[in-house]
Amino acid sequence: MIKNERKVIDLAGMLKIVDSCDICRLGLAEGNRIAIVPMTFGYTFLDGKFTFYFKGDLEEERLALIRNAEEIDFQMDSDHCMLPMGNGEYTMFYNHGEGYGKPVFLEDEEEKKKAMKHLLAHYLPGEDEAFADISWKETCVFKLEVIKLHCKVSK
């Protein structure tokens, strides 16, 4: 259960948390177990909704799990720091986001390029370099249309 004082519900706070995270972990149902897949990502926030973008450098089995999923859970965190509080007690500071969304594979070359620009912008803000000459037809890019995102912070 999230303590109410740790919930982040304002947009500026949520954007700050997503910006601070460098990996988004996808939870994929694989038979009776869950496969946790850490991925680099980019995102947009348009018309009141988050969309996360991923380049699918995964094994075919994992890509099939994503293709067959109606919704996918995700989790991200950052800024971990454990501090002593005295009397042998400690506290952990962190940023955290989790939720779920609908996966959509991109087929159009322009959509893929746009998604990759968002991914690169997440890690290299202000960088606007052209992509190498790659085969966009063979490049797997998908997005996660976020349905629910819960954020919390402990500071």
The pair of structure tokens assigned to 125 is: 């803000």
Number of domain units in the chain: 1
Cα-Cα-Cα-Cα torsion 55, 127, 97, 25, nearest 10 degrees, comes to: 30
Write down the pTM of the prediction.
0.89
User: What is residue 15's DSSP assignment?
Assistant: H
pLDDT along the chain (155 residues), means of 10: 74 94 94 93 96 90 92 94 86 90 95 91 80 76 97 88
Cα-based angle 39, 95, 118 (whole degrees, multiple of 5): 40
* pLDDT score for 133: 66
Q: What is the pLDDT at residue 149?
A: 97
DSSP state of 5: G
Q: What are the structure tokens assigned to 66, written together?
A: 């994503």
Q: What is the pLDDT of residue 122?
A: 92
In the chain the beta strands, taken as DSSP E runs, fall at 7-8, 24-30, 33-39, 42-46, 49-55, 72-86, 89-106, 141-154
pLDDT at 1: 43
Q: Are 71 and 26 in contact (CB under 8 A)?
A: no
Provide the pLDDT for residue 74.
98
In single-letter form, the type of residue at position 77 comes to D
CATH code for position 12: 2.30.110.10
Q: Which domain holds residue 80?
A: 4-154
Tokens of 52: 């996360």
